[in-house]
Structure 1
Amino acid sequence: MSERTSTLSKAERTRDNLEPAVPHVEQANAAKAKLDALIEAKGQRPNIVWFLIDDMGYGDPGAFGGGEAIGAATPNMDRLAREGLKLTSTYSQPTCTPTRSAILTGRLPVRTGLTRPILAGDRVGKNPWEDEISLAALLSDSGYTTVLSGKWHVGEAEGMRPHDVGFDEFYGFYPAQKELSQAFDKRRYPDLLLNPERLAALRAEGGSEALIHGWKGGRTEEASRITCLDDVADGDRKLKEFSIGKIRELAASGKPFFLEHAFMKVHADNFPSKAFEGASSSKFPYKDSVVEVDTYIGEIVDALDQAGVLENTFIFITSDNGPQRDSWPDAGYSPFRGAKSSAWEGGVRVPGIAYWKGMISPGRESDGLFDLMDLFNTCLALAGAEDKVPQDRYIDGISQVSFLLCDGGESCREKVFIWAEKDLMAMRMYEYKIHIKVMTTHAQWLDIDMTTVASVGIAPWLFNLYIDPKEEYPVGHRMNAFIAPMSAELKAHAATFKKFPPKDIGL
């Protein structure tokens, strides 16, 4: 099966449940030969390590225009970007839970029902994981040891925990950092902390306030309780120590492994651990936390090197969405319009760094499109488990192995579809971005708390991101000839939901 949707498109659909991809035959063959040679030399499939930073802005790392220039040096991320592939058009979902579920399923959140963060008091009508298949489960079935260290935030009820959905081991926190700190910070939440009845009501919701250790099969323990803000501040240090110890253990096992290290920081409210208070030039807690995260990335990568597995490990560094500007100044920076929760570039365009010593040539930079859902297909391909990509549901991810591994490699992705909860908002195709719904923020930076969604008027809002990266002035039909074919691509995307209906889990 091979079909193209519009005259503007070069992507081909090879199966009705797979997102169309641009075929790069020579590139794919070269990447396969390169990977096969490594597997033969190492005697096993490559390890996979993800660093998922919470709410870090596109402009926070130095490699993406931030770093020391904005008061928080990031030498480790910068070095990995310099010695690997810097991806300048990497896309997430607008908020946390949607991204975290999407990268593990290769599916848009509107398909899985995980369309927004799961918060204290939420009750889902159906466990979405009952009929979803996670990357961790597929890799575990393929001989990998799968570990999640850090933030989960995709459900903490039995059946929805990381060690229930495919991870062999989980060491981390179910909720976001703010959901832990709010129960102890009386200066920021006085109406909660100074009102015992309301604090008791919050805790009656049953949300976890502990560092959890869980294993496949259901065994679950509390490693430690959160009893004060110092415990919140120290969370990422504990997670880092666990990941370093686990790497030593996994490297000695002789089996390939998948480690997702998901930081609690730099999600508001930020409290840097004692060793990092004032560590940034700015001295603000958010910036200190950026320095802390960057330092831990360096230490974990060093642990891979010391364990002798760095050259056989694919590393990817990113953020789960744009910065949460509602909490400013406890927030990151994006040079683009909008922020977390927004369909504008500031909400969904995030740093992307692919590093693999000896496999990804140093000094590469590309504006080729990379959706974080592509990690699902890419990692299955690296594991030799392409045949495990499900055929009974729509998969929005695309394997990007050839793009990542080949010098001068081109992206296999042609389009990124941007949803905000259950609304299809926009699509990026090449350097163009077309909006069929737009977000209006009614107070400066309150992209979550004071934003409304509206349909566009007579024509979609079409921007050329190469001349207008802030999406300030639509070029529209008067300056662009591609509204019709891009609209056809949007219609083709919408049509996939007729054959593969979305789920509603009552979130």
Structure 2
Amino acid sequence: MLKQLRLLICTGTSAILAYGAEQPLNVIVVMADDLGYECLESYGCEVYQTPQLNKMAEAGVQFSNANAQPICTPSRVQIMTGKYNVKNYFAFARLLDTESTFGNTFRDAGYKTCVVGKWQLSSDYKSPAKFGFDEYCLWKINNKEERYVSPGLVTNGKHETYPGQYGPDIQQAYALDFIRRNKENPFLLYYPMTLVHKPFQPTPDSADWNPNGDPWLNDEKYFSDMINYMDKLVGQLIATVEQLGLSENTLILFTGDNGTTRTITTRCNGKDIAGGKGYTTDAGTHVPLIAKWQGKANAGSMINDLVDFSDIYTTICDASNVKPKEDVTTNLDGISFLPQILGIKGTPRDHSYCWYMERTDSSDIRQFVHNNTYKLYDTGLLFNKVLDPLEKSPLAPSSMSEKEREIKQRFHIKLEHYASLRPPEIQALVKPIAKKHRNKKK
């Protein structure tokens, strides 16, 4: 093991070659919908039970400072393209047709690719294939049905409704079948789950589950049931990988796309944490991130290094020795956290950047640079996010230490640099959409 790690450190050789693997590494990326870190027992949650994710954390590596974007589409664009939103985000529920995703990169490398769960990036039934996925079973491609009871799904270009069935079960079955069918082939499975986003409803494991129930029912008392069901599905996924003998050759990542719904308050580590979806505070962006790679991950460790969603693309490419095209590589913003998964120091981030446009109104753009302790907005406000997680008291210039003044100046330079990366042609796409959006509100 030490010899293998020295080879990785000294030569920079990718993990797959450093470990002498005979087969390409499989990759599974699971992303729950509207799930802040505080909802998992392994992060200190005191009210929901997540035994399967507990096991995943015990066998793998947890990151305590992982950050998504504040809402779903910006996070989906960033995780799939490996770029900060400033470079390519232009509208809610849209991904620019010219973008390349990790699906494209892995498919080009000979992998079988599949996406299952929530799409919300285009109304074109063929768009997942365009973005690199051989197969897909998705909710939210120009369909009106809800995601849970009696859902409407698009599978490989065909729309179907499933009266009396539970959407997450249908998509889970497709994901497991994809893994089984490709146990002899290298595969990438991207699984942006529909759970645990509202409407909050009974699951098939709930005492009052009704397969003919109202698909629009919304009652927060079922949130814990949905957390439990999500956890169960992740456990089934991991168990299938183990049963097929693929655990030592499969990297599994689990995360959430943004903070928890605002109306949900969760007891975690002795504190009540209100969900912050849509906010740029810690409650809106701080998500769980667990990595499992049997026999390779530094099992049971908690990593405090800063991670953001642009890093996932870079990390899975690093782990699998898959090389993006040169024009893609030069535009990526991610830093690989593969070394930390393996128990090596690596090159942790000293800052992360967020460019956030909540919907389609380009006048409401927020930007910030942060590290594990401090956050500077483009408004000039600096916060100590550890002491002031709700960001109620910006640091006054007169009370800042020399270190804090230095951090503010350094972060200000970073903000100016990142803001300059906004392509004019992307911003030009925003304006007509923003105008249409404002007219609708009137």
TM-based fold match above 0.5: yes
Q: Which of 246, 264, 269 does residue 178 from structure 2 map onto? A: 246
Q: Distance in 2 between matches of 1:183 and 1:308?
A: 32
Query: In 2 relative to 1, CA 32–278 (structure 1 residues): closer, same or farther, beyond 3 Å?
Result: farther
1:434 maps to 2:366: no
Q: Which of 287, 299, 310 does residue 224 from structure 2 map onto? A: 287
Residue of structure 2 equivalent to 1:181? 146
1:503 to partner: Cα distance: 6.2
1:172 maps to 2:138: yes
Query: Aligned letter for 2:41?
Result: G
1:345 to partner: Cα distance: 1.2
Q: Distance in 1 between matches of 2:206 and 2:234?
A: 14
Residue of structure 2 equivalent to 1:7? none
Q: For residues 380-399 of structure 1, what are the structure 2 equivalents within 5 Å?
A: 380-391=317-328, 394-399=331-336
Query: Aligned letter for 1:490?
Result: L
Query: In 2 relative to 1, CA 133–432 (structure 1 residues): closer, same or farther, beyond 3 Å?
Result: same
Residue of structure 1 equivalent to 2:386? 466
Structure 1: gaps spanning 5 or more residues:
1-24, 119-126, 186-208, 215-219, 437-455
Note if contact 1:55-1:332 (Cα within 8 Å) is conserved in structure 2.
no
Query: In 2 relative to 1, CA 27–45 (structure 1 residues): closer, same or farther, beyond 3 Å?
Result: closer
Q: Distance in 2 between matches of 1:393 and 1:158?
A: 30
Q: Distance in 2 between matches of 1:300 and 1:78?
A: 14
Residue of structure 2 equivalent to 1:255? 185
Q: Which of 273, 288, 308 does residue 203 from structure 2 map onto? A: 273
Residue of structure 2 equivalent to 1:152? 119
Query: In 2 relative to 1, CA 115–431 (structure 1 residues): closer, same or farther, beyond 3 Å?
Result: farther
Q: Distance in 1 between matches of 2:426 and 2:116?
A: 33
Q: Distance in 1 between matches of 2:148 and 2:290?
A: 35
Query: Aligned letter for 1:396?
Result: D
Q: Distance in 1 between matches of 2:113 and 2:131?
A: 11
Residue of structure 2 equivalent to 1:496? 421
Question: What CA deviation, in whole Å up to 9, does each residue of 1:370-410 have, x standing for no partner?
Answer: 111211111222232335253587322222222322x1524
Question: What CA deviation, in whole Å up to 9, does each residue of 1:1-41 have, x standing for no partner?
Answer: xxxxxxxxxxxxxxxxxxxxxxxx99754774753243x34
Residue of structure 2 equivalent to 1:47? 26
Aligned length: 404
- What's the secondary structure of 2:113's corresponding residue? strand
Note if contact 1:342-1:420 (Cα within 8 Å) is conserved in structure 2.
no
Query: In 2 relative to 1, CA 391–290 (structure 1 residues): closer, same or farther, beyond 3 Å?
Result: closer
Query: In 2 relative to 1, CA 464–337 (structure 1 residues): closer, same or farther, beyond 3 Å?
Result: farther
- RMSD of equivalent CA atoms: 3.1
Note if contact 2:89-2:426 (Cα within 8 Å) is conserved in structure 1.
no
1:400 maps to 2:337: yes
Q: Distance in 2 between matches of 1:374 and 1:211?
A: 30
Q: For residues 74-473 of structure 1, what are the structure 2 equivalents within 5 Å?
A: 74-117=50-93, 128-129=96-97, 131-158=98-125, 161-174=127-140, 180-181=145-146, 210-214=152-156, 220-222=157-159, 224-227=160-163, 230-231=164-165, 234-251=166-183, 254-277=184-207, 284-325=221-262, 328=263, 339-391=276-328, 394-405=331-342, 407-421=343-357, 422=362, 423-436=365-378, 456=379, 460-473=380-393
Query: In 2 relative to 1, CA 498–241 (structure 1 residues): closer, same or farther, beyond 3 Å?
Result: closer
1:210 to partner: Cα distance: 2.0
Q: Distance in 1 between matches of 2:64 and 2:148?
A: 38
Residue of structure 2 equivalent to 1:5? none
Percent identity for Structure 1 against Structure 2? 23
Query: In 2 relative to 1, CA 371–276 (structure 1 residues): closer, same or farther, beyond 3 Å?
Result: same
Query: Aligned letter for 1:167?
Result: F
- What's the secondary structure of 2:27's corresponding residue? strand
Note if contact 1:427-1:435 (Cα within 8 Å) is conserved in structure 2.
yes
Q: For residues 48-63 of structure 1, what are the structure 2 equivalents within 5 Å?
A: 48-63=27-42
Note if contact 1:54-1:264 (Cα within 8 Å) is conserved in structure 2.
yes
Structure 2: gaps spanning 5 or more residues:
1-5, 210-218, 434-442
Query: Aligned letter for 2:311?
Result: D
Query: In 2 relative to 1, CA 468–46 (structure 1 residues): closer, same or farther, beyond 3 Å?
Result: same
Question: What CA deviation, in whole Å up to 9, does each residue of 1:157-204 have, x standing for no partner?
Answer: 255x21222101001212599x6339999xxxxxxxxxxxxxxxxxxx
Query: Aligned letter for 1:238?
Result: I
Q: Distance in 1 between matches of 2:44 and 2:220?
A: 19
1:267 to partner: Cα distance: 0.6
Query: In 2 relative to 1, CA 337–297 (structure 1 residues): closer, same or farther, beyond 3 Å?
Result: closer
Q: Distance in 1 between matches of 2:351 and 2:9?
A: 19
- What's the secondary structure of 2:29's corresponding residue? strand
Q: Distance in 2 between matches of 1:184 and 1:259?
A: 24
1:337 to partner: Cα distance: 7.2
Note if contact 1:374-1:400 (Cα within 8 Å) is conserved in structure 2.
yes
- What's the secondary structure of 1:82's corresponding residue? helix
Query: In 2 relative to 1, CA 183–91 (structure 1 residues): closer, same or farther, beyond 3 Å?
Result: closer
- TM-score when normalising by structure 2: 0.82
- TM-score when normalising by structure 1: 0.72
Query: Aligned letter for 1:221?
Result: K
Question: What CA deviation, in whole Å up to 9, does each residue of 1:184-240 have, x standing for no partner?
Answer: 99xxxxxxxxxxxxxxxxxxxxxxx622211xxxxx223x4155xx54xx1111111
Question: What CA deviation, in whole Å up to 9, does each residue of 1:400-428 have, x standing for no partner?
Answer: 222322x1524532221122215232111
Query: In 2 relative to 1, CA 290–338 (structure 1 residues): closer, same or farther, beyond 3 Å?
Result: closer
Note if contact 1:369-1:415 (Cα within 8 Å) is conserved in structure 2.
yes
Query: In 2 relative to 1, CA 373–182 (structure 1 residues): closer, same or farther, beyond 3 Å?
Result: closer
Structure 1, 236-245 or 384-393: larger mean CA deviation = 384-393
1:105 to partner: Cα distance: 0.8
Question: What CA deviation, in whole Å up to 9, does each residue of 1:52-96 have, x standing for no partner?
Answer: 100112210101121xx21x2001111211221111111111111
